[in-house]
């Protein structure tokens, strides 16, 4: 009799639907598009250049991770007709990128906060992470500029804390 009961229990467990993920692909895809739109609409006449669409992934038990690559300011490329960039232009590009860095960080924090509000099914202890890789040409002066900015916070902290900035861990590499 116990063998029959075990068989019925095993069949019942096998037929049970798998646990649903709290965050679906459609939710992540919608946030990817929102991030891209916000990044590219920063300054319409002098935009931040999006070099790769934002990509997001939900990791069960950890949270959502978004990443993208941007150039903070348009910059000329080396060509056969322009084999070097004049020093004054190198300085202008660097200064513009330094000026835009705080705005990018603020935008990243805003995007994390809006993600926390949008992803209502994300468990409160799970993380929201946003990483931005910054593009530089080989001729650029990158002194004082990070190669990458990574921000992370538990969803609950992003919702509960004011100001939100106090909830976010920021790392620059």
Can you read off the two tokens belonging to residue 154?
Answer: 């538990």
Whether the per-residue pLDDT at 24 is higher than 60: the answer is yes
Can you read off the two tokens belonging to residue 144?
Answer: 């004082």
Predicted confidence at residue 3, as pLDDT, reads: 53
Predicted confidence at residue 8, as pLDDT, reads: 43
Across residues 117-122, what is the average pLDDT? 96
At 116, the pLDDT band (50, 70, 90 cuts) reads very high
From start to end of the chain, where are the E strands?
49-59, 63-71, 127-134, 148-154, 169-172
DSSP-derived secondary structure letter, 44: T
Model confidence, pTM: 0.85
Predicted confidence at residue 27, as pLDDT, reads: 95
Predicted confidence at residue 11, as pLDDT, reads: 47
Across residues 6-25, what is the average pLDDT? 58
Containing 101, the helix (H) or strand (E) segment is: helix 87-118
Mean pLDDT of the chain: 89
Across residues 83-100, what is the average pLDDT? 96
- Under 8 Å between Cβ of 159 and 134: no
Across residues 84-98, what is the average pLDDT? 96
């Amino acid at each position: 009799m116990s063998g029959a009961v075990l068989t019925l229990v095993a069949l019942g467990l096998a037929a049970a639907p798998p646990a649903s993920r709290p965050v679906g692909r459609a939710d992540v895809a919608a946030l990817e598009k929102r991030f891209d739109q916000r990044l590219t609409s920063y300054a319409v006449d002098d935009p931040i250049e999006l070099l790769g669409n934002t990509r997001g992934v939900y990791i069960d038990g950890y949270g959502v991770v978004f990443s993208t690559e941007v150039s903070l300011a348009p910059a000329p490329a080396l060509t056969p007709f322009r084999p070097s960039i004049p020093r004054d232009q190198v300085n202008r590009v660097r200064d513009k990128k330094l000026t835009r860095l705080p705005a990018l960080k603020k935008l990243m924090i805003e995007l994390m906060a809006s993600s926390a509000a949008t992803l209502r099914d994300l468990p409160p202890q799970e993380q929201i992470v946003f990483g931005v890789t910054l593009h530089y040409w080989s001729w650029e002066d990158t002194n004082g500029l990070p190669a990458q900015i990574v921000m992370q916070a538990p969803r609950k902290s992003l919702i509960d804390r004011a100001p939100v900035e106090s909830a976010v861990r920021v790392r620059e590499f």
